[in-house]
Amino acid sequence: MIIGIPKEIKEEENRVAITPAGVSAFISHGHQVLVEKGAGLGSGIVDRPYEAAGATVIESSSEVWQQANLLMKVKEPLPEEIHLMRSDLILFAYLHLAANESLTRALTKKKVTSIAYETIQLEDNSLPLLTPMSEIAGRLSLQVGAWCLQAENGGRGVLLGGASGVRPGKVVILGAGISGSTACQVAAGMGAHVNVLDVNPSKLRYIHDITGGRITTLMSNRANVEEEVVDADLVVGSVLIPGAKTPKLLSRSIIKLMKPGTAFVDISIDQGGCAETSHPTTHSHPIYIDEGVVHYCVTNMPAAVPNTSTYALTNATLSYGLEIADLGVMKSMHENPALARGLNTYQGKVTHAGVSTALGIGLTTVEEVIGG
């Protein structure tokens, strides 16, 4: 197959869908790879290593789109890319179609085969192409939270690790999933005092076990949440209920009770956020102060570290990309049910139940499509 890698054109998106190592893998499987000139620059990867790995670097984005059989992207195509779609194109990217009716209609009209990173799902219900980004957001939350706490940003002026003879800062983490547990490890590594809350006892047990009890784990309920956050220096929101809006664990009245200058990093903002006071921000204006609390609510945190994010993302996407390229769409879906769950549109039909329900467009099941 010919694999096409265009440069991302969405604002603030500096990741790229393949690394030079990924190019080598496709080439060694007998495929051809076309990379748009400068596609990796935002992630600190120049054209030469792509060429050294066997890719052909092409000046024009539209040529990459036109020649590719399998087009791998990071983010969804933008309106200006719609005219480049065609019925024999396989598109593999983060698509988030349930929230994007116009793109869904364009993909079905153009009969594109689209496979969404975020709906590839393993038997245990985990989402392997979302996990690396949660891990990165969790790690970043401490870095940005520590920055929010600095006096010049309106923070309390507390250093999380404290100093000799001075107490460390208190970090409270709401949600002990992928992002919450990585945030816990970084917070503990910085020398902070860390308390984490979740509704799932097995998540709390995991944290307790891996940190040897150094982190306090607490059941998440209204009383515990309130008691913890009013005494915190940094609160991290990393709660998720799959398929639902994030619960508002922090009402405005609780936020009001928090100490002035407390930092609050709401990772879960991309699903609505876990505080009544949260609203989305961008990397160019990441923070605002409400009720005296410094809020950081950036919806695409991994974009702040595109180099790391690109490697983490492509580590996860490559094996699926190779499967599609080696076996073709039908056979790869037959052989790998996780990949089949990623199919969102095929030959003008919507093939993902979540997208169909969200947009009120009729569903053709993947089983009907692949005949199994």
Ligand X SMILES: NC(=O)c1ccc[n+]([C@@H]2O[C@H](COP(=O)([O-])OP(=O)(O)OC[C@H]3O[C@@H](n4cnc5c(N)ncnc54)[C@H](O)[C@@H]3O)[C@@H](O)[C@H]2O)c1
Q: Which residues are catalytic?
A: 96, 270
Shortest Cβ 70–ligand X spacing (Å): 25
Among 4, 175, 286, 321, binds ligand X (CB under 6 A): 175
Q: Which is nearer to ligand X, 90 or 267 (CB)?
A: 267
**Helices marked H in 217-363 — which ranges?**
222-229, 252-257, 306-335, 337-340, 353-359
Which residues on neighbouring strands pair with residue 33, listed in sequence order? 3
Among 8, 76, 81, 198, binds ligand X (CB under 6 A): 198
Shortest Cβ 237–ligand X spacing (Å): 8
Query: Do 64 and 5 form a contact (C-beta atoms < 8 A)?
Result: yes
Shortest Cβ 175–ligand X spacing (Å): 3
Among 108, 114, 195, 238, binds ligand X (CB under 6 A): 238
Q: What angle do CA 343, 345, 351 make, to 5 degrees?
A: 65
Of 22-30, 43-51, 242-250, 251-259, which part binds ligand X (CB under 6 A)?
A: 242-250
Distances (CA, A) of 93 to 6, 14, 117: 11, 14, 5
Token pair 């009013």: residue? 230
Q: 277 is written with which tokens?
A: 């006071």
Q: Is 134 in the site for ligand X (CB under 6 A)?
A: yes
Q: Which is nearer to ligand X, 25 or 173 (CB)?
A: 173
Among 66, 200, 319, 347, binds ligand X (CB under 6 A): 200
Q: Are strands 287-290 and 293-296 parallel, antiparallel or unpaired?
A: antiparallel
Q: Which of residues 254-293 bind ligand X (CB under 6 A)?
A: 267-271
Token pair 């349930």: residue? 98
* CB half-sphere exposure, 134, CA atoms < 13 A: 22
Shortest Cβ 30–ligand X spacing (Å): 35
- Binding footprint of ligand X, residue count (CB under 6 A): 33
**Which amino acid belongs to residue 283?**
H
Give the residues lining the site for ligand X (CB under 6 A). Answer: 133-134, 137, 174-180, 197-200, 203, 220, 238-241, 246-247, 249, 267-271, 298-302
